[in-house]
Structure formats: C-alpha cells, structure tokens
Structure 1
Amino acid sequence: NPLSEITHKRRVSALGPGGLTRERAGFEVRDVHPTHYGRVCPIETPEGPNIGLINSLSVFARTNEYGFLETPYRRVIDGKVTNEIDYLSAIEEGRYVIAQANAELDEDGVLTGDLVTCREKGETIMATPDRVQYMDVATGQVVSVAASLIPFLEHDDANRAL
C-alpha cells in the first residue's frame, strides 16, 4: 500500500533514547502547539497511549541539517508575493509576519485589501499588506499526506477526521 508506506516513512516520534516515555508524557506535551504549524500534522496521530507522541510530518515539512523541522513560505516584498521559497524553522518563523495561503492577490501577485489575516509569534493578527514578510505556500501545508487526501477536510467533523 503506497499510502501506508509514505505515512510510515514520514513519522516523527517523541519516544526513544533522549526522548519521553509514555508514562511520563503529560497533556501539554501531547497537545497541538502553534510551532507545529506546517511541520507536524494536527490530525494524524495514533489513539491510545501514543497519542500526541507519534506524529506525521506535514505535506511540505522537512528536516534541516541540525535536525529541526522546517516548512516552506513564499517571500513577500512590499506587499508583492514572489516565487522565492524559504524554509523556516519554528524559531525563525516567530520573527516574521506570515499571511495565509488564501489571502487575496491581484493578477500581479500583490496582496489586496486594507488588512490581511496573518500569524505573528504564534498569534493570529490582522496586518496591513506592507507588514507581511512571508505567505504560506498552500492551504494544505498544515496536514500530512494522508490527511490531505480526505475530501472536504475543512467541512468534516473533527472527530471523524481523527
């Protein structure tokens, strides 16, 4: 099964040497965290004692040379979205104002409207287009390969998606 194979190859575990044990991991460790955005899928995790400790990488996530998870963003210069892609770690991401992938653009790739929904330091904000420094590459970059195959995921009951 190709889907099963790719899912198993993109697993990330907090267990093992230097990691956590199932017994000692509390709720705060197992919960979804804002730094997981675009790096770890908030939906795909096993049920039972491993919940939140074994996760799947998001669609575009990768590890850098230091072992940190990174996710891609399109660079925005003076309100114009470029085709330059930068991979940012969660630490680097906290320094920037990042627009959602579904932000409205004109035919030249310039952000339109007075305010754009963005993320800054893990919080959702409304920012003027000139403040935006990066933009998500795709609306589906938050979820894993398997979760991205669920049709109309955004309209699905959260418990059913899980």
Structure 2
Amino acid sequence: MRMSLKGRGAAIALGLAVIGTSITLATPASATHWPPPGEGRIINHTGRTLVGLTGFDHGKGCTVWNWGEVEHKRQSSRKHCDRDHIDPHTATSRFDDFDAVTVQSSGYFWVNFEDNGSWYKVPAHYYVQFGGRYNADCYSGPHVTCKIHKVW
C-alpha cells in the first residue's frame, strides 16, 4: 500500500514535531550556562606537555610551591601526588578535578593569580596549587605562563 504525497507530508511533519519536542525538552533552561565550564581544569594552549595533579593522597613525592586554595606566597611542601600528563593544545575534561599544574620542559614558568594580578616565577617541577573553583589557562612563550582564574 502506497502513501499519498499528502499523507507523506503529514507523516514527515509529525515526525519533525516529535523530534522538535524532544529536543526542546532536552534543552536546559539557561543555554548560556550549558555545558558547565568545569572547575579544576587545565587548559594547555602550549606546544608542551604539562603535568597536573589530581590529588595529594598517594603516588610519588612532589613539591608544591604554594599551599592553600590560591595562595601566592611560596610555602614549599613535599606531598604524595597523583600525576596526569596534559598533552599540548588540549584541555582536561570538565569532569576531572585537577588541583595543581607544573611544567617540566624548561627551568621555570610564570604564574598569575587573577585575585592579585602579580606574576610569580616558579621553578619547573614545582606544582602550583589552585582550588576547585579555579582553572589554569597555560600559554606558550619563551617560558610557559599560566593564569589561574576563578570559574564561578
């Protein structure tokens, strides 16, 4: 049995209406905030591999340059750290929660905390900690620069 042209048009219209309804229902109330930006992310704009920490519970020893959610005073401390490498020109998942970042490919890198605007020279292999409400955006240059900024 063949469907008439008019019948096909009605079936297509009904199908599009059903798809449109399900899409409308799946759309969040505020599309400007979806998907959530994520907290504790490292965005690697450099051509170098960065190293991030996902926790301080176990793993190999590491040196944290600062301590506290976002402290710009050097309070070097030895901890046990869970490491993860962040490939060049990538970002960590918005579902991963990173706590610190470092470079290993040069003698030092520069860090800026948006809360105070100053730049700090941090030795390579020293991790700069940032809290869960912050992200680290790292850029290339003669030395890597990382801006620590509040997400919310």
One fold, TM greater than 0.5?
no
Structure with the higher fraction of residues in helix conformation:
1
User: Per chain length, whose mean CA-contact separation is higher, i.e. which structure has more relative contact order (CA < 8 Å, sep 6+)?
Assistant: 2
TM-score after normalising by structure 2: 0.27
Structure index of larger Rg: 2
> TM-score normalized by structure 1?
0.26
